[in-house]
Each structure stands twice: as structure tokens, then as C-alpha cells.
Chains A and B, each alone.
Chain A
Amino acid sequence: MKLSTNFVKDYIDIDVDVKTLAEDMTRVGNEYDEAGKLVDATKLVIGEVKECKMHPDSDHLHVCKVDIGSEVLNIVCGAPNVREGLKVIVALDGAVLPGVTVKAGGIVEHDDKPRVIKRGAIRGQESNGMLCSLLELGIEHKYVDEVDKTGIHELPADAPVGEDAIKYLQMDDEVVDFDLTANRGDLLSILGMAYELGAIYDKKVKDIDLSHSENSEDINDSFKVEVNTENCSIFLARKVKNIHIHESPIFIKNRLIASGIRPINNVVDISNYVMLETGQPLHFYDADTLNGKIEVRMATEGEKLYTLDGKERTLSSEDIVISDGEKAIGLAGVMGGLDTEITDKTKNVLIEAAIFDGVKIRKTSKEILRSEASSRFEKGLDPNRTYMAIERACKLLEEYADGEVVGGTAKYDNSNLANREIEITFKKINDVLGMVIAKKDVLDVFRRLEFDVIIDGKKSDFTETEKDLENVEKIIVSVPRRRGDVSIKEDLIEEVGRIYGVDNIVGRLPEMPMKAGSYDKVTRGIRNKMVDLGLNETLSYILVNDKEAKYFTKDDTELVKLLDPMSEDRNTLRHSILPSLLKIYEYNKARSNKDVSVFEIGKAFYKKGDEYGEANKIAALMTGDFYLGVDNRKQVDFYVIKGIVEELLDYLGYERRYSFVIREGQMPEELHPGQSALISVNNDIVGLIGRVHPSLEKEAVYVFEIDLDKLLSKKVGKMKYKEVSKFPSVKKDLAVVVDRDVTSEEVATLIKKAAGSNLSKIDVFDVYTGKGIEENKKSIAYSLTFERMDRTLTDEEINNSLAKIIEMLEKKIGAELRK
């Protein structure tokens, strides 16, 4: 809402500069974007063109002699409409204008720096100023007429030469552009603003002038209003005859411009002007296009209407329409119909002032047009203002359109006009705010807001002293309907806080029983572990494109797509964190960051049948060189990332409970078929690991992902100390040659089986193929540790174990001892 301070001063006597006003409003909860002069320019006077000749060296410039009262200036002007006898706006030498340059056709270019007019010569001709259009004064393009777009502004012939042009134009206004909160619909009116400022500066709001005459006819004799929907609480109609359509008076035009509305003609402008003053949107019909009846009802499904923008609209049963009894003639509160709109030929006007349901208007206007009117309906209106607005419109039409007001009002009124009464105690106010406010100070807030207060059944005159109020605990506050946002105790407390101020509240901590707080230790632990392992944590977007969304998942879940995405590249929720990590990898690759080892803990989403769900996952992506330890940088391969997974699973207590398995038909296509596995814990698949398929990523990029919800649901015992043996252990190396297809795990399992409990540890320390080893064979070397808790093992026992191992391996998998 743009507030014209000149406009609001009609209703409240205040004299503060615009910045102070804006800051004071901010302090009570009404933020603003900008505050300043409507026209931020200096040294502009009214001049008269006394002489106008073509510039000798130009085909479009004129050399003019302009009388500014005190002297006659030589000024070069390029406007096509400059001519002798014209009254013009002259920017004198040293004038500071807004940083606007007007190009051909009225195209405006903006600059942050103001424009300073300097005396000089244009193509050899002396020029001591500039003749201006309204555009050059900073008035927005959409508000000015054609003359100002192509040339300079033409002042009326009686404009007094030498006087301040801004003052004369009544553009010496200051404007605050408020960014209002959604609950303060009342502030979408000059009157509402006046009440708010009145509360701040302790001033009373002046009455609005509704006086007008009316003829002896009665509208009810020839016109009926019928409301057949609960979505219209009040509908008033009055008629004004024999109006004359012309330009609005200057103050109406400029106040509309200051408020952000384009002036059209006096009649249309009056409807907007009254809406600005009262907050009540009005609609004017050409009364001669109506046939004596207006009905408000819900549209029928598929009903058609030509709105005044010339478009054919197909309506639904959710739209409120105005009908002439037969067909729809307007979309209530949103847009009028083409057939009944005011035209240049309109003589008789029917004024509609009504309140329609905000939710319905919101829905309809979202599809068609959000306007100044619809936003006011959405936020709720005061029916008292409906009455006020229609009278005010009659008054202005009588005064500024020479109209003849027809007697009577056709009306339907099912609204509640009475004040809202809210009971509250002083204690409650103090309890919520956490400070003690004197009772008379509380009453003073309501007085400033022009709310009534009822004490013991009597209306307060606000002269009570604190002593008078000593025994008063409970009061009733009577809130005018204009403040639709104040309906419960807490709203009143907010008003006290707003107007009295809360700066004096002394902060304290809630008095609650001591207890230890809690947080998700496991996620924190996982994050710490991954960082310890040397990976960098990322935080990526969960939105990816619909092609990637299901990468690395092979299940029967469906895509979770946005109804209204911002871009096609982010139109679906990820099913896996890995597509996000691949994007991060691509980003880094493009910046020559070759070594990328990152992880992320986050959500992945899915749809199964009609159910939507999300899972907590951890994923990592590794490529390039990875730092494994001092003097040990290694190019990432499957075993590096496998090591990360094992370390993490061990850390979480799943030691010896997991394995890496290959399941035909379950391997995601995005993984390299020969370098990938599923991660199984307690024989349940919880994740995947492997190299990204070369068709997706040419470079060797390795990933893993684990469903943390699934993994962590598998219980682990508490970490306990395990006794270490007091007796020496013996290490033996064993290298065996086996078929290439035999896995290391198979060999190890056989070794463990053969050696029994004397074998405490088994590690692979070398895998070899090549010279000395038959083709289709490989050599695996194990380091075996023998140890017992109860005694030292003898050489004989160990040799026996080794012999058993060799025998078992030979028998089961045809292994040979490597010589």
C-alpha cells in the first residue's frame, strides 16, 4: 500500500517528515520499502513560451524564449509540442531531477544518480534550463498521458508564471510504500492509516464528508437487489444520474498516482479514490445496460462471461457472480463484465458497494486477476465502511461529475455492524507480556486506538486514575469492525504491546524443571566419523530432474514430481542422494577440481501407491586421489570406498554382521556391472556400493549409499571392553593359488573353518596374477594370527592347524600352496 501523506492529512493533523513517519509506523509493526517525495526534484518553475524558433543546426530542436516571471530565459527544447504561448514546467540551472532519461517514444531509462540541469549550449545555441515532461519528474510511465510520453507537459493556460510548478501541480506529496502484514486489511485505506497514525501520535481521526443532496425518486421503485449466496454479506446499490465524464480534478489524479493507481476519468477515478479512502472497493455499472435487477449468486459450472478486458471466461461453481437476473454480468469483486461497463457515453451510474467472501474472491482472482479490489476483499472488510463508501461516492459524483443522486439505497444486509466485545483482565495482559503495565496506561492504548472500554458495565471516558482502577481487574474492550484482525484477547494484548511498546521488557529464561536436552547422537556420530575418514560434507538440493530422480534405485516406487516446478532441471524429488552428488561432481569437474571425496546425510523421497514417504540416507562420492594417511595418497578405487563403508559400519557396531553381495537382477543400471555390490547387514540389503557406470560417468567415480533408517533399525549392543590375551600370538603367512573365480571371502571362510578357534585374525596382504601363475588362476596371500586366551600355543599345534587349512583348501577348491 502506497500512502500519500497529503491524502491522509485530510483525516489527521500530523506534521512529521516522511522518514520519521515511516520509522514510527515500522515500530508498531508496519514495515515499509521506500519513503520519499512523490517528485524528488528542485528548482522547477512555471514558464511561458514567448518565442519558439527552429534551431538553425537541427531538424527537431527548438530555440525558445521562456518567461519565468523574474526573467526570460533562452532554452533549447526538442519536444515536438513546444510552441508559443504554451505554459510549461521549467527546470532551472542547477535543478536536481530524478535520475531518469526519456528517450524517443517515452521510453524511460533509470539511473541511480540524480540528474543535474546545467546552463550550457546545445549545438551552439545557449540553453539555460530544460522544459520537462512528467516523466522527467519521475512520474511513472503508466500514469502519464500520451502528450507527456512524446513531448513536454502542457500546463493549463491560467497557470501562474514564475510559481513553483510542483506545488501548482499538487505533486508536493510524500509517499510511503508500506509492506503490510496480511492481517492488517484495515490499513489498505487512508482512514485505516489515519487511525493507526492517530494511535501513534495521539490524534483523533476527522470525520469523512458524506453530505450530498438527492432527488425525490427512490431507487427501490425501479430496482431490486437479490442475494442468493452466503458468500455475500452485504450488497448496497445507489444510482447517480446525468453524470458528465471528463478528466478528474488535479488532486484526485495526483493522489491516485501517488497511491499507485492510473487515473482514467472522473467517474472511474472516483470509484478508486473512494476505495483508497475507505478500503471498500466499489463497482460502477452503466445503469442503462441493466434491467432493474441485480442478483448475487454462485456461477453455474461452465457458465460464460465476457469480462471488461474483452476475454471470454468460463466460470465454475466456486466463482461468485453478479447477474442481471438472467445472465452473469460480472465476476463479483474481481472484474466487471464487458456489457455493463462505464464508457465515454455513460449517463447514469449504478454504484455497487458490497462485501464478498474473501476465500472465494481469492480463489477466483488467482485465476483471473489480482487487483487492488480483490486483495481488499481477501483480507476482509468492515460493513460500516460499505455504507460510508457508497455515500462518499455519491458525494464525489455529485461534486466532480455533476451527477444527480437518486434517492434511496437498494440493499441486502446480512452483516454485523456492531463492535466486537472482548473481555480481558489486566493480569492476562501482564502475564503474556511478562511485565507490569499501569492499568491507566492499558486504557490509554485503547483510547488512542479509538476502541471503547467498558468498566463495570459503563463506558469509560478515559479519565480514570490508577487509584480509580485499583479494584478493577476485568474490562471489556469494544473493538470497531474496521479492525477485523482484533477478535480475541491475544489480539488486544498485541495492541497493548504495539502501542505501549515492549522495549522495557526485561528478558529472562523460562522457569522450567532442569533436565538434560537430547539430540540425534547417531547422525552426529556418523558425520564426525565421515569427516575423520577424510571426506568433505556437502549439502545439496533435493530437487533434481525426473530422469535422474530414480538413479541408483531399483524398486517399484514412483516419481515424486512437483506440480509447479521452477525449472525442468529441478522438477522431481530425489529417490537417492546420489543424483545430487553427481551434480556436485559435475560442478567440480567443470572447475578442474579433480579430487572429490564428499558425503552427505539427507533425505530421499518416494511414492508407493498413494503413499508418500521419505528416508534418511547417507551417500558418498569419491574420485581422483584420496588421502589415506601420511605418505599415502591413493587413486580412488572400489577398495578405497569399500574401506570407508566398512569403517563406518564397524564404527556403528555392525562388525562381522555385514557383507558385500551381488544379486542378479537387483543391481542398479547406473553402476558398473563388474565393480559393484549391494551392502547387506544381517542378510538384509541396506545399500549399494560401486563404480558409476561408464556410460553415465567416463571417469572412475565411486559411490555408496546406505539407507540409514533401515540400517539403524538393526539393533546393536552396547560397546564393551573385550579382554586381550596375555599369551603371545604367532603370525604365519600363507599364499595359495586358486581359480580366478574363487573369491577371497570363500577362501577365508574355509581357512577359518579349518583352523578353528586358535585362529584369531586373518588378513589378505597380497593378490597376484601374472608371471609364474597359470592363466585363470590367482595367488592370494594371507597373514594368519594364532592366539589363545588361556595358554601359549605350541609350534606343533600351529603346524597342525596350517596342515588342516591346506588340506581343506586343496579338497574344497583345489587350491595349491604357492611355492
Chain B
Amino acid sequence: MEEQISKIKEVALEEIKMATNAKELDDVRVKYLGKKGELTSILRGMGSLSPEERPIIGSKVNEARDELESMIKDGEEKFAKLELERKLKEERIDITLPSTKVKRGSKHPLNRIIEEVEDLFVSMGYDVVTGPELETDEYCFERLNLPKGHPARDMQDSFYITSEYLLRTQTSAVQARTMMANDEKSPIRVICPGKTYRRDDDATHSHQFNQVEGLVVDKNISLADLKGTLEVFVRKLLGENLELRFRPSYFPFTEPSYEVDVSCFKCGGKGCNLCKHTGWIEVLGSGIVHPNVLKMGGYDPEVYSGFAFGTGLDRLAMFKYGITDIRLLYQNDVRFLKQFDKLDR
């Protein structure tokens, strides 16, 4: 009997070895270990054995079964692996074929810049405010210390609708509105991005363009605060290692006033075409809020001081994205627009 078991095992092991695929292996399993399999039959026939023989034969059969099962399992794994390899090979594709696009839209480059500027200043506690584009002479000029007949009005050739209404020439118009709207006359920290309009049209000027205005009013605001703030602004937007230069200038609504030059981000200040070989590029107008403007806004200039700054966003967008003609920003060719669907990093 024991011999018979050994024999069966030997033959079965040989058959397992011979099996060339999962099906043949399974046939071997059924033949020996299946319900009617040879080893199973021996177990079933154990009833006819003596009580002494039973445990001996039983353990022999179990031993043989375990060994066979383990061998079959190994074989199955081997065939599964082979099968997987075959399948993977079969499923190989041409990865150079075009993809299935998941195309989305894009934001206009100017709004990308505006959002970036907004995010930066919001992170520093500023509120983003807006104002009308169809503005009154009062807010666009008079409340900014530019009375009618003031020679500095020549700096901005305006689109008038009536003698009182015009398209705003500067986002500074929002300064007065913000101060007036603040009933408690509490400290102010705002930026106002938006469209502005002047009678001007060529490769570097558009009659419609975008500015962002910044205004901070509190006790003890100084030029140093302005400088620090603009350093953060310019470096975040245009490059971390840039230097700023404050050049005295004149704006009726600030005193003292400064134009801010930034060291040329193309040549690093050595001199190139972009900076007209000066090493500097003018990017901002700024200054300490004129006491008349504070007064007209309801803030006591003896108690409060503030700074204001403004910059043209079109130029910043052009610098940032290497756009050479301002008109591209307003033609809205879809081949242009679609390019602005990438993350700014």
C-alpha cells in the first residue's frame, strides 16, 4: 500500500514536471487530487484498512498530497507568470501615437498677472478693491490734487464723455473712493487692479491698458515702508535678485514722488537693448500721499500718512511672457490665448 502511494506520487510528480501549460497541470491535479483522483481514492478506501494501518497510510497519503499540491502550486505560479508575460507582450502599444487630449481653456495673460498681484498683496493683508471705469473728473483728477486747468493734466490725454464724465486715465481714481468710503477712517491697505484709458495707440501704447494701484494709509507710514513693499512686489513678480532705484519725479497726488527703476532683468544691469543701455527699467510710479489728497479723503494729514504706487500691468505681462507688441494682448487671436494654459512657476 505504501509502495502504491509512493508509486502514485512518483508518477504524478513526473506528470507535473511534464505539464506544459496551466490546463495540463490542472488535469494532473484532477487526476490525482480531484474528487475521483487516485490519491483521493486511497483516502476514501481507508475504511477497509486496519486501525493500525490507518494513521500510517493516512499520513503517507497526506504527505504525498501536500507535496503534490505544493508542486502544482509552484507550477501554476510559473504558468501564471508566463501567461502574464505573454499578455503584457500582446498588449504592448505604440506610445508615440497621439494622446487623447483633455484640453481645457486658458486665462488671458493680463488677468493671470492681475491674479498673481492680487494673491501676493492679499497674502500681506491688503484688500482688493474696484471702482468705476466710467469715472467722474472729480475722482479721476480733482480729488487727486489735480484741479481743472492744472498743467499736469497734459500728462494724461483723456477720453471725455461729457465735461464731467470720462474713462478713467488711472486706477488712482480709486484712492479717493476708498478713503471716502471708509467711514471710521481706519487704516487702509488696498490694491486696485483694472482697466484704464488714454488717447494713445502704437506698438508700446494701447488706448486701453491695465494698471494696479496700491494705497496704504496709517499713522507713521514712510518712504521706507513704500520701498520695502515695492521690493517685495517687484522681486516676486520679476525676479528675486533685482535692485530698485528711487528716482525723484512728480505726481500731483504724492509728495515726495518717485519713479521706481528696477535693475534690468535681461542683462542684470550691464546694459542691453531692453534697458536702452542704462541698466535700469522704469516700472512704477509712487510716493507719499499728498496731504491735500488725505484731507479730501477725510484723513487728517497731521495724524495719518500713507504711500501710493501704481504700475502698468501690460508692460509687466509683456516682460514676463516675452510679448513684443502690446497689440497682441488685445487682438485675442485664439492661437495666442491658448498658450496661456500653463502654470507660472
User: Does A591 reach chain B (CB closer than 8 Å)?
Assistant: yes
Judge whether A432 and B288 touch: CB under 8 Å.
Answer: yes
Contacts of A535 in B (CB 8 A): 105
User: Does B101 reach chain A (CB closer than 8 Å)?
Assistant: yes
Which residues of chain A (557-596) have a CB below 8 Å from chain B? 560-566, 570, 573, 584, 587-588, 591, 593, 595-596
Judge whether A181 and B208 touch: CB under 8 Å.
Answer: no
Judge whether A614 and B229 touch: CB under 8 Å.
Answer: no
0/1 string, B243-258, CB within 8 A of A gives 1:
0111111101001111
Contacts of A587 in B (CB 8 A): 331-333
The smallest beta-carbon distance between A27 and chain B, in angstroms, is: 7
In the complex formed, the residue of A with least CB distance to B155 is A182
Q: How large is the interface on B (under 10, 10 to 19, 20 to 34, 35 or more residues)?
A: 35 or more
The smallest beta-carbon distance between B150 and chain A, in angstroms, is: 8
0/1 string, A14-31, CB within 8 A of B gives 1:
000000000000111101
Contacts of A510 in B (CB 8 A): 189, 216, 218, 221, 225, 228-229
Contacts of B199 in A (CB 8 A): 564, 566
A613 to B128: give the CA distance in the assembly, Å.
22
Contacts of A54 in B (CB 8 A): none
Instruction: Report whether over half of chain B's contact residues are helix, strand or loop; otherwise say mixed.
Output: mixed
User: Does B124 reach chain A (CB closer than 8 Å)?
Assistant: yes
User: Does B26 reach chain A (CB closer than 8 Å)?
Assistant: no
User: Does A451 reach chain B (CB closer than 8 Å)?
Assistant: no
Judge whether A517 and B224 touch: CB under 8 Å.
Answer: no
Judge whether B128 and A517 touch: CB under 8 Å.
Answer: yes
0/1 string, A354-366, CB within 8 A of B gives 1:
0000111011000
In the complex formed, the residue of A with least CB distance to B148 is A359
Out of B130, B160, B222, B333, name the residue touching A520 (CB < 8 Å). Answer: B130
Contacts of A494 in B (CB 8 A): 248, 255-257
Judge whether B255 and A29 touch: CB under 8 Å.
Answer: no
User: Does B269 reach chain A (CB closer than 8 Å)?
Assistant: no
Contacts of B86 in A (CB 8 A): none
Judge whether B208 and A543 touch: CB under 8 Å.
Answer: yes
With A358-B149, A491-B255, A540-B332 known to touch, is A561 a contact of B248 (CB < 8 Å)? no
Judge whether B224 and A564 touch: CB under 8 Å.
Answer: no
Stretch at the interface among B57-65, B114-122, B170-178: B114-122
A493 to B222: give the CA distance in the assembly, Å.
12
With A540-B330, A573-B134 known to touch, is A562 a contact of B255 (CB < 8 Å)? no
Which residues of chain B (233-271) have a CB below 8 Å from chain A? 244-250, 252, 255-258
A-B residue pair count with CB separations less than 8 angstroms: 251
Judge whether B125 and A512 touch: CB under 8 Å.
Answer: yes
Out of A182, A530, A561, A612, name the residue touching B134 (CB < 8 Å). Answer: A612
Out of A28, A518, A541, name the residue touching B208 (CB < 8 Å). Answer: A541
Judge whether B333 and A597 touch: CB under 8 Å.
Answer: no
Out of A379, A433, A588, name the residue touching B334 (CB < 8 Å). Answer: A588
Judge whether B151 and A536 touch: CB under 8 Å.
Answer: no
Contacts of A661 in B (CB 8 A): none
Count how many chain A residues have C-beta atoms less than 8 Å from C-beta atoms of the other chain.
Answer: 93
Judge whether A434 and B222 touch: CB under 8 Å.
Answer: yes
Judge whether A562 and B208 touch: CB under 8 Å.
Answer: no
Judge whether B148 and A517 touch: CB under 8 Å.
Answer: no
The smallest beta-carbon distance between A150 and chain B, in angstroms, is: 36
With A509-B229, A535-B105 known to touch, is A490 a contact of B256 (CB < 8 Å)? yes
With A29-B249, A433-B223, A560-B161 known to touch, is A539 a contact of B110 (CB < 8 Å)? yes
User: Does B108 reach chain A (CB closer than 8 Å)?
Assistant: yes
A541 to B115: give the CA distance in the assembly, Å.
20
User: Does A514 reach chain B (CB closer than 8 Å)?
Assistant: yes
User: Does B82 reach chain A (CB closer than 8 Å)?
Assistant: no
Judge whether B100 and A630 touch: CB under 8 Å.
Answer: yes
A532 to B107: give the CA distance in the assembly, Å.
10
Contacts of B97 in A (CB 8 A): none
Contacts of A181 in B (CB 8 A): 152, 249-250
With A182-B151, A517-B124, A596-B334 known to touch, is A537 a contact of B105 (CB < 8 Å)? yes
Out of A362, A513, A514, A538, name the residue touching B149 (CB < 8 Å). Answer: A362
Contacts of B149 in A (CB 8 A): 358-360, 362-363
Contacts of B207 in A (CB 8 A): 541, 543, 566, 570
Given known contacts A431-B222, A490-B256, A539-B108, what 14 new A-B pairs fall within 8 Å (CB)? A181-B250, A358-B149, A360-B149, A505-B224, A509-B229, A509-B232, A511-B220, A527-B107, A534-B105, A539-B111, A539-B330, A540-B330, A593-B333, A598-B334
A sample of 6 cross-chain residue pairs with beta-carbon separation below 8 angstroms, ordered by A number, consists of A434-B225, A502-B227, A502-B246, A563-B162, A573-B134, A593-B333
